[in-house]
Amino acid sequence: MQPLERPLPLTPGRGESLRLDSAGSVGFSWEPVPQATVYAFILRQADGAILEQKELDQSSLALPAAWLPEGNYVWTVRAVARSGDRPETSGPASSSSFSVVTARNPPAARPVTPAAGERIDGLSSFREGIRLAWGQSEPGSNYTVRVEKPGVGLVWQGSTKGLSLVLPDPGPGSYRWTLGGQAPDGVPLPEVDVEFHVLPVAPLDGSTILFPRTGTQVDVTNADFIRFSWSRVGSATAYQLGLKVAGNGKSLFSRLVDGGTELVYRELENLDTGSFVFSVKPLTMNRKGVIERSGPEQSATFTITIRTGSAPAILSPKEIYVRSP
């Protein structure tokens, strides 16, 4: 009978360095050989002393990591065929070497901010993001951060050799940030989880429309403008104004007023007698024009009237109102 093929060692790979936890195990594996019924396995220490020797009917074996102290090892495996009264047939042995390095446990990096259970102001998060900071594990460590939202999953991740990262505003809700990474020698750092909460951005108060109030009749006879006015809201930096026809909702204007509390509207040629809706919504905007906060929209429904007389009344160069005969 022809000799069997040589088994090809798979794991541990030749020259591989294993960092073991004494509570774990070391797996040995090799390519199966056709016609082989058993495999002769031998594990030796660097000085040739046999640490384990056995026959197996499968192409893998697991040994307790506690059996392998720090050092260098050589393992061999040989395919064997046995069948009834026939002579035993075997093939050449294959060997591979590896080393074991005792696992060490570097100290965990200590989260500083956000602290466990911390409640973060929503507006501050919107403006600046959230600074994630921690204490050092070992000099030269590389840190990784994952931020997850329960029920959603991963929302952000980052890595750095520094001691802080800025999380872009994630929006209101509860979050968990996990701090881990690697020590300078590649040993994983213990992971630490911290939960924190981002509060909703508090809305602005509503503004009160001073003129025209709901139910007001605005007489524009011989007028050149209508002066719309409203009360100031403390933190508002701008106001979104709107004017619509009450019946069909047609928009006559939509304007953004920076900081003021009145608008002088001179385009009276765009108006007719009837009912209109004036609205005011306070806003807080940053220097880039991004809306950070808003308040409820307040509205007032009013009526525009014109008194007619024997002589024409000129309201503007574009429009003349006269009494019908």
Residue 259 pLDDT level (bands cut at 50, 70, 90): confident
**How much is the pLDDT for 87?**
65
User: In this model, does residue 310 exceed pLDDT 70?
Assistant: no
**How much is the pLDDT for 312?**
42
Report yes or no: 61 and 76 within 8 Å, Cβ to Cβ: no
Same topology for domains 111-198 and 209-321, yes or no?
Answer: yes
Count CB neighbours of 72 within 10 A.
13
**How much is the pLDDT for 315?**
44
Residues 6+ away with beta carbon under 8 Å from 195: 116, 117, 174, 175, 176
Residue 23 pLDDT level (bands cut at 50, 70, 90): low
Domain boundaries, the chain: 9-102, 111-198, 209-321
DSSP code for 247? T
Mean pLDDT of the chain: 90
Which one has a higher pLDDT value, 187 or 321?
187
**How much is the pLDDT for 91?**
83
**Location of structure tokens 């881990």:** 180
Q: How far is CA 292 from CA 8, 54, 125, 203, in A?
A: 65, 72, 11, 10
**Mean local confidence (pLDDT), 89-96:** 88
Round the CA-based radius of gyration of the chain to a whole number and report it.
Answer: 40
Task: Write out the H or E segment, with its range, that includes residue 16.
Answer: strand 16-20
**Under CATH, which architecture does the 111-198 domain have?**
Sandwich (2.60)
CATH of domain 9-102: 2.60.40.1220
Listed range (87-91, 154-158, 262-266, 267-271) with the worst mean pLDDT: 87-91
Q: Nearest-CA neighbor of 98 among 77, 73, 76?
A: 73
**Under CATH, which architecture does the 209-321 domain have?**
Sandwich (2.60)
**How much is the pLDDT for 220?**
93
How far is it, in rounded angstroms, from Cα 275 to Cα 242? 14
CA atoms within 13 A on the CB side of 208: 3
SS3 96: strand
